[in-house]
Amino acid sequence: MTLVTECAENHETGEVPFLVKLGYSFGTFGESIAYNLFYVFFLIFLTVVVGLDPAVAGAISLVAILWDGVTDPLVGYLSDNSKSRAGRRRPFIIRFCAPLAATLVLLFTTIPALSGMAQVAYFLVMNILFWTMFTLVDVPYIALGGELSDSGKERTQIRTMATMWNFVGFILVAAGTVPLVTYFADPVVFPGEAAFRDPSAWKTFAMLIGALTFVSFAIAFWATKGREPVRHTERKSEQGSFLASYLSVMKIREFHPLIAFCLISQVGGYMLTALAVHYFIYYMGATEGQISTIFLVYGVMVVAASPIIGALANRFGKKAVLLACNLINVALFFAFWKLGFTFTTIYFFDLGIALYFGSFYILGVAATYDIAEVDRLARRDHDSRQGIVFALFSFVMKLGIGLGMFFSGILLKTTGFDESVLEQTPEALSGLHIGLTLIPALLFLAASLALWRYPITRARQVSIEADIRLLEESRAS
């Protein structure tokens, strides 16, 4: 029996060895530390370290993420249609993980000779390069996860492990960035609290994160050797042009509520992420140690909750669990808006965002695998268009993220936030509180209403898996 034949048979039985799941999912650690360094700290890096206007910093983030969203569909299409003998997904991962690491370092590197528009242009270009490399690795990587097995249960388990690694990475970045940047800072030039503003310390920390990003994706590439499904070129019709492929995926009715949920909830989720550090420092007066503890507890909550979320989804269905987690979050954030936070109740804030992001990255992403199967059945095609499906989902996700960060910058600007002073005006503090509580609560509520219309329940998923097995049997015969 050849390795390719064994791979195909294992894929059809749905069984994925534990070490393959573990190695593949470790790539999400690299994905997480790269994008979380951007999402959590890039806005504050541009405003506090570089000294850019908050609205300009928010605009840079929005333009770059929208660019990333535009490249997602292209990379998804190229990956789905790759004719490489090494596979459709894995070659992208190994070719672009090193450039991804390099551009991450450049993104957090200041050039003293640049100022004004030249400085803005530099960070915009570095942003675009970083997100281009990220897409070239991440879209094929996520698509590969949906093709390691035809079993919805196995795919949910893969996403559960990946999400756990995701938030281990988040813990490293969110809880470790402030103390490590402070540690790397020059104590003579940037003494005491000013250590956080040392540009060279940020570059050193980014080099550490870049190296870990490269290693994690390289391990995922190695762990999945011989596991990528064979492309059935002898039975496959052409998928059509780039535009035609995406238009056909956009017509999948089951996809529409999931896309709406993704867009609306990500705006709310990443307003929280972009404003959290500002809120902790300027509204609550938190110390570096307290901020690190808040993020550490949040990350631990997601890691602990992920197996529970995955197990519940395999029993009750992705939609039911995702909706329940989101509605709990809505209730919590409305309560936070009315009652405010203390250094005790802030951990209920951790619980709320842990439920949202944990369920989103396990079940929201796993739901795209189900959409790809619906698409396979509609086309009666043995090859999945998982790359295109996830790329479209990712485009919408990043549009929501970019809008969340952009609106955060606008909120800071319009409420009079001044990054150069520790004491903010009442208007600025009120804006921070609303941006971290009421606005996300309303957005999560709207997202829940969209998700309510998602038609793939547990029973429908079982039916889809049965139909996929019949499709595979027809190929074998």
Range of the domain at 57: 17-226+248-476
3-state secondary structure labels for all residues of 127-187: HHHHHHHHHHHHHHHHHHHHHCCCCHHHHHHHHHHHHHHHHHHHHHHHHHHHHHHHHHCCC
In a domain, 421, yes or no: yes
* Tokens found for residue 245: 């492929």
pTM: 0.77
**What is the total count of domains within the chain?**
1
Task: Note whether 216 and 119 are within 8 A (CB).
Answer: no
In a domain, 130, yes or no: yes
In a domain, 141, yes or no: yes
% helix, strand, coil for the chain, step of 5: 80, 0, 20
In a domain, 1, yes or no: no
How far apart are the C-alpha atoms of 31 and 160, rounded to whole Å? 15
Helices 255-278 and 346-359, packing angle to 10 deg = 150
In a domain, 9, yes or no: no
Residue with tokens 């890096």: 45
* Maximum alpha-carbon separation in the chain: 74
Cβ neighbours around 75 below 10 Å, total: 25
Q: If we measure between CA atoms, which residue out of 217, 301, 282 comes closest to residue 32?
A: 217
How far apart are the C-alpha atoms of 130 and 238, rounded to whole Å? 32
Q: What does the DSSP assignment read for 36-103?
A: HHHHHHHHHIIIIII---HHHHHHHHHHHHHHHHHHHHHHHHHHHT---TT-SSHHHHHHHHHHHHHH
Residue with tokens 């972009």: 274
Q: If we measure between CA atoms, which residue out of 94, 96, 87, 92 comes closest to residue 76?
A: 92
Task: Note whether 363 and 309 are within 8 A (CB).
Answer: yes
| Burial class of 320 by CB neighbour count within 10 A (0 to 12, 13 to 18, 19+) | middle
In a domain, 265, yes or no: yes
In a domain, 3, yes or no: no
- For residue 445, the number of C-alpha atoms closer than 13 Å in the C-beta half-sphere is 11
How far apart are the C-alpha atoms of 54 and 410, rounded to whole Å? 7
In a domain, 138, yes or no: yes
Q: What does the DSSP assignment read for 202-236?
A: HHHHHHHHHHHHHHHHHHHHHHTTTTSPPP-TTTP
- For residue 401, the number of C-alpha atoms closer than 13 Å in the C-beta half-sphere is 24
Q: If we measure between CA atoms, which residue out of 299, 213, 294, 164 comes closest to residue 38?
A: 213
Backbone angle region of 182, left / alpha / beta, with phi > 0 → left and psi within -120 to 50 → alpha: alpha
Per-residue pLDDT of the chain (477 residues; tens, 9 = 90+): 343 444 444 444 468 899 999 999 999 999 999 988 997 788 889 988 888 888 888 888 778 767 877 788 889 888 888 887 778 899 999 999 999 999 999 999 999 888 889 999 999 999 999 999 999 999 999 989 888 887 888 888 999 999 899 889 988 887 788 889 999 988 888 887 778 888 999 999 999 999 999 999 999 999 998 888 765 544 444 456 778 888 888 899 999 999 999 999 999 998 988 888 888 888 888 887 888 788 888 888 988 999 999 999 988 999 999 999 999 989 999 999 998 888 888 888 888 888 999 999 899 988 998 998 999 888 887 677 888 898 889 889 888 987 887 898 889 889 988 877 778 898 999 999 999 999 999 999 999 999 999 999 988 988 988 888 887 777 666
CATH number for the domain spanning 190: value is 1.20.1250.20
